[in-house]
Amino acid sequence: MTKDLTTGSPMRLIIGFALPTLFGMLFQQLYNMVDAMIVGKLLGSAALGAVGSTGSINFFVIGFCMGVCNGFAIPVAQRMGANEPSRMRRYVANAAWLSILFALVLTAATGLLCRQILTVMLTPADIFDNAYAYIFVIFMGIPATFLYNLLAGIIRSLGDSKTPVYFLALSSVLNIALDFALILGFQAGVAGAAIATVASQGVSGVACLCYMVKRYPILRMTKEERRPDLHSCGVLCAMGIPMGLQYSITAIGSIVLQSSVNALGSLYVTAVAAGSKVYQLLACPFDAMGATMATYCGQNVGACRLDRLSKGIRSCALLGLGYSVIALCAMLRFAPQCALLFLDARELDAVVLVELTTRYIIVGAAFFFPLALVNIVRFSIQGMGFSPFAILAGVLEMAARTSVGLILVPAFGYTAACFASPAAWVCADLFLIPASAACIARLRRLYPNQPEELPEARPVPLKAGAHR
């Protein structure tokens, strides 16, 4: 049930690991898109704008949760690569304790501050109530977010990228059914879409847990391994918190930008919301590449196979370039049709909304290769164990989006908002690419006696925390 990524062709291993991860992310985006499509088609563009206006604060909080879970999975991957199952299980147990704590604190804090946050973000009055109804339910579902993302991250760290896909497929079907039941049957409005998302993710998380208990003997813990351990918690927090903060710091720029777009009016908010949904779907391969490289680099650092790190990054970057070209060509032809997936063509402003959304999609698609590098290189750095280092890329993304939101959007309007994310990706790459080379060089200095590229090379365990 586990997979060793420390021997064999990096390109073949990356493709084999990334494809199931990609399918899982596509399923996840499927039910996110269904939410938006049902809201936009059945409840109207104002309701879609309400959901879209919460996107940046949603990413700020939920992105932190996902980043923390991804960070918690890195020590698990490293100990898996180092062939230290007992220490790996201890990390898994302490990741669970920490996740419970984080989930409780974040759920309480966001629930209490939700309305104030939307007010500070200048959410338009005509969509404020719907925005609050949607994001409040999402925040109350933070425990479900932690449950699924932590377990899926652990499973991937063991080298199994297929199993999470099966549960996401189940979750997607359930989400679609609940969307129609709650919005059409129970007239729950945008809150119904949020309930469907939270419930389906919770089911996926519980299914993952039951499967892990039954099918992964390597995770069966002794009483000693299950106990909270301060050293393990420290290592996990050193990985997880910077990764979570990286998402949140990036989201600060998105919040500032969203506030500037909100000031332009609900029509522009709706266009950005629809365009962002298309982005999220098109960016799934980049997300899959990032998740793959975190596990790939984590296992190879744990096994001290440092010679494979650069090869893996180059191979994955080549895949990212190929997909970026294909995606741009597709959007140049089909962007208006993609926009209409989320917009009602019968509305009075439909023609203007389609044009605005199409512009947003095409500008972003032209910069997809920089986005690919952001995911590939940043997650590779994190997999190597330099999570605090990678957070600086998030600071650059925040600075770029904030600058565009505060200076360029008021001066040049909606077109400037279309270039905000591309500017953030390019700024992050200017730091990440040399940073990845520096990280690999540092590991080589710390561990000069690494094994050569030989199938029979024996893994050399790293000292805990030595490379951080």
Q: Is residue 244 part of a domain?
A: yes
In terms of pTM, does the model score above 0.95? no
Residue 95 to residue 401: CA distance in whole angstroms: 32
Q: Has residue 19 been placed in a domain?
A: yes
Question: What is the per-residue pLDDT for 347?
Answer: 65
Domains contained in the chain, number: 1
Q: Please check whether residue 456 lies inside any domain of the structure.
A: no
CA neighbor of 172 nearest in space, from 291, 74, 50, 31: 31
Name the pLDDT band for 314 (thresholds 50, 70, 90). very high
By the 8 A CB rule, do 269 and 49 touch? Answer: yes
Identify the pLDDT of residue 362. 94
| Pick from 258, 229, 268, 302: nearest CA to 462 | 302
Q: Is 453 part of any domain?
A: no
Answer yes or no: is 466 within a domain.
no
- Both tokens assigned to 359: 């512009």
Quote the pLDDT of residue 453: 42
pLDDT digits 0-9 by tens, 266-306: 788 888 888 888 888 888 899 889 989 988 998 888 888 88
- Rounded to whole angstroms, what are the CA distances from 247 to 109, 282, 303, 422? 18, 19, 28, 16
Helix (H, G, I), strand (E, B) or coil at 406: helix
- 464 within a domain of the structure (yes/no): no
Expressed in percent and rounded to 5, the helix, strand and coil fractions of the chain are 85, 0, 15
Say how far residue 413 (Cα) sits from the centre of its chain: 28
Provide the domain limits for residue 298. 10-446
> How many CA atoms, within 13 angstroms, populate the side-chain half-sphere of residue 213?
6
pLDDT bin (cut points 50, 70, 90) of residue 215 is confident
The answer to whether position 462 is within a domain reads no
Return left, alpha or beta for 343; rule: phi > 0 is left, psi -120 to 50 is alpha, else beta: beta
Size of the chain, expressed as the number of residues it contains: 468
82 in a domain, yes or no? yes
Longest CA–CA span in the chain (Å) reads 69
Do the beta carbons of residue 239 and residue 382 sit within 8 Å? yes
Q: What percent of the chain is predicted at pLDDT more than 90?
A: 33
Beta strand segments in 295-364, E: none
Residue 449, pLDDT score: 64
pLDDT at 432: 93
